[in-house]
Amino acid sequence: MQKITYRDSGVDLDTYQESMARLPKLMRRTHCPRVLPWNNGFAGLFRLDFSKGLFSRDYQEPVLVSGTDGVGTKLKVAQMVGRHDSIGIDLVAMCVNDVICCGAEPLFFLDYVAMAEDDPELLEQIVTGISDGCFESDAALIGGETAIMPDLYQRGDYDLAGFCVGIAERSRLLDGSHIVPGDVVLGLASDGIHSNGYSLVRKIVFEHAGLSVDDQVETCGSTVGELLLQPTRLYARPVREVLNHYKVKSVVHGISHITGGGLHENLARILPAELDAEIRRDSWTIPPVFFWLQDLGGVDESEMYRVFNMGIGLTMVVSDYYAESVQQQLTNLGLKNWQIGQIVEGCGNCRWV
């Protein structure tokens, strides 16, 4: 009788080992001295504090901050284009950008990759992007999991999930409770669509308009594939620079990551129950990709603002007195930003004016 092997069921352990051998170098480039080596261990080790120089924090009451996310159906676009590195940056950004909203410093990141079959080159592309995102966010990539499940995924398909852990002093946590009337809402520029609304994007572009990833979008100066795979912007470094600049004064009162639900819903999440944010729609520059999508699909303006970030990837609610100073710091760091609104008496809503 013929003996059955794991390979017969669709999992090749030799190819899996080749895949794993490509990853350590991508992880090591993101490590700092706070990462403790544990070769061939079953988990990643990271110490909260470090006794020397640049990495010393001397926490008084540290609070761990965690976040997890994926990149949704943007994965389908990556598969159509055949490019898989930038999707890893998206994965990191979606998690890290959430964690920094609490005022936290990202510490480390882990990924979960589920695939139909072992593919060392594909996995290396994905993790290269994850490594790039971690490097730019100063977060250590300390581990992950690659699951091969041929019965759950079609050949060429894969799925991603990311997990980020950060840390903040309890006294410096940002929960929106210090927001007061007169505070200014700063809008930090996005890099386009980021990683939300891609079910609508794909329906407009590929089903409704019948375009391909190689078609040129004249108003945006790129192909459809290039435009839709523009990675999510990482805000960790500029936000940390601003927060570290004001270690004594309470200047930044709240931060929100503008994802699904748009500016209206995500900014409202950090508002006290007795305050509103009044936002001026004409106060920032909307990237041309959103006008292209709206025209291509005949989408109502209200639907666009509800689904997409519309050019604002992160908001910071700051003290009116320091608003221009914070803006200048962000500008000096190469990040476009605008004063897009202010905080007034209300009932916990974000509204347009």
Asked if residue 252 has pLDDT above 80, the reply is yes
> 301 lies in a domain?
yes
- Label residue 18 exposed, middle or buried (CB < 10 Å: 0-12, 13-18, 19+): middle
pLDDT value at residue 11: 83
Q: pLDDT of 66-80, one tens digit each?
A: 999 999 999 999 999
Residue 74's domain spans which residues?
7-37+58-172
Per the CB < 8 A criterion, the answer to whether 87 and 74 are in contact is yes
Q: Residue 101: what residue type?
A: C
pLDDT value at residue 16: 81
> 1 lies in a domain?
no
Tokens representing residue 279 in the block: 């936002």
Same domain, 100 and 241: no
Asked if residue 5 has pLDDT above 90, the reply is no
Same domain, 192 and 280: yes
pLDDT value at residue 301: 96
> 44 lies in a domain?
no
How far apart, in whole angstroms, are the C-alpha atoms of residue 292 and residue 225?
A: 14
**33: CB partners within 8 A, 6+ apart:** 50, 52, 55
Which of 172, 203, 221 is the endpoint of a domain?
A: 172
How far apart, in whole angstroms, are the C-alpha atoms of residue 279 and residue 314?
A: 14
Same domain, 63 and 191: no
Same domain, 94 and 217: no
Model pTM? 0.95
- Alpha helices by DSSP H, 165-320: 198-202, 224-228, 236-245, 262-268, 288-297, 301-307
CATH number of the domain within which 223 lies: 3.90.650.10
Same domain, 78 and 168: yes
Per the CB < 8 A criterion, the answer to whether 193 and 308 are in contact is yes
Tokens representing residue 341 in the block: 């609104």
Asked if residue 295 has pLDDT above 90, the reply is yes
> 45 lies in a domain?
no
The number of beta carbons lying within 10 Å of the beta carbon of residue 224 is 22
Same domain, 229 and 124: no
The mean pLDDT of 191-211, rounded to a whole number, is: 97
> 294 lies in a domain?
yes
Which of 172, 199, 219 is the endpoint of a domain?
A: 172
> 42 lies in a domain?
no
| Domain count across the chain | 2
> 103 lies in a domain?
yes
pLDDT band for position 10 (50/70/90)? confident
Same domain, 30 and 155: yes
pLDDT value at residue 51: 76
Same domain, 329 and 237: yes
Tokens representing residue 280 in the block: 């001026």
> 43 lies in a domain?
no
The mean pLDDT of 105-128, rounded to a whole number, is: 96
Which of 143, 172, 201 is the endpoint of a domain?
A: 172
Per the CB < 8 A criterion, the answer to whether 180 and 253 are in contact is yes
pLDDT value at residue 50: 79
Same domain, 150 and 245: no
Instruction: Identify the residue with better confidence: 57 or 209.
Output: 209
Average pLDDT, rounded, for the chain: 95
Instruction: Identify the residue with better confidence: 17 or 139.
Output: 139
CATH number of the domain within which 158 lies: 3.30.1330.10
- Of 238, 242, 262, give the one whose Cα is nearest residue 253: 242
